[in-house]
Chains A and B, each alone.
Chain A
Amino acid sequence: NAGVTQTPKFRILKIGQSMTLQCTQDMNHNYMYWYRQDPGMGLKLIYYSVGAGITDKGEVPNGYNVSRSTTEDFPLRLELAAPSQTSVYFCASSYPQDGGYEQYFGPGTRLTVT
């Protein structure tokens, strides 16, 4: 299994541009999450999904959108990028039904908005 994969690894955007961060997992996990990590800070939950077709806001959803059309994919959309969205973005997945709570993280996408 490849686990959780994210693309791209790095991206530079200009203010006002838009982009989609891709996240795919091949572990058949039904729960997926998007976090952002700012320097010296912990991980903040942006959006999460408990299954295909179901998404919900986390702590910091403003400026982002998500969709979950399949179990495997959970893309994060940035519309009208702003410098405040410069961050490292991590996607994660978990499978609570097996009694485990562990979240498995992807390698991250480093985004700079200038």
Chain B
Amino acid sequence: GENVEQHPSTLSVQEGDSAVIKCTYSDSASNYFPWYKQELGKRPQLIIDIRSNVGEKKDQRIAVTLNKTAKHFSLHITETQPEDSAVYFCAASMGGNNRLAFGKGNQVVVIP
């Protein structure tokens, strides 16, 4: 089955700096790659996603890039703010039926 790995597990950045989280996946058939943000004690919420026919997607301060050849995709957060502090999960589509395989998550801490 699909195996998704995230690096690094914890990332601390100064407010205003950029944060980059990288995920690798194993199944070359995966074609959908979402990123979810989870604040402490809350539910995961989708912040951005990308499909395999697109190399990059941006939404204000957030962007995702996909390299299908290398089987990795990355989340880029620019001009980080304290409210960006959370756990970020990447995922990749797994088989059919809209199933997702999730990575273990990255704790991002934005230092004011």
Contacts and interface: CB of A to CB of B under 8 A. Distances in A.
A98 to B, nearest CB: 12
A111 interface: no
B99 A102 contact: no
A43 B98 contact: no
B43 A103 contact: no
B49 A43 contact: no
Interface residues of B, number: 21
Interface string A51-86: 000001011000000000000000000000000000
Contact of B97 (A31, A40, A102, A107): A31
Interface in A85-114: 90, 94, 96, 101-103, 105-108
Contacts of B45: 105
A79 to B, nearest CB: 24
Nearest to B89: A42
A46 B43 CA distance: 17
A50 interface: yes
B44 interface: yes
B62 to A, nearest CB: 15
B108 to A, nearest CB: 15
A101 B49 contact: yes
Given A43-B89, A102-B49, A48 B103 contact: no
A27 interface: no
A102 B33 CA distance: 10
Nearest to B31: A101
A101 B102 contact: no
A94 B102 contact: no
Interface in B88-109: 89, 93, 97-105
Interface of A: 31, 33, 35, 40-45, 48, 50, 56, 58-59, 90, 94, 96, 101-103, 105-108
20 contacts: A31-B98, A33-B99, A40-B104, A41-B104, A42-B89, A42-B102, A42-B103, A42-B104, A42-B105, A43-B89, A45-B100, A45-B101, A59-B1, A90-B44, A101-B32, A101-B93, A102-B46, A102-B49, A105-B44, A108-B43
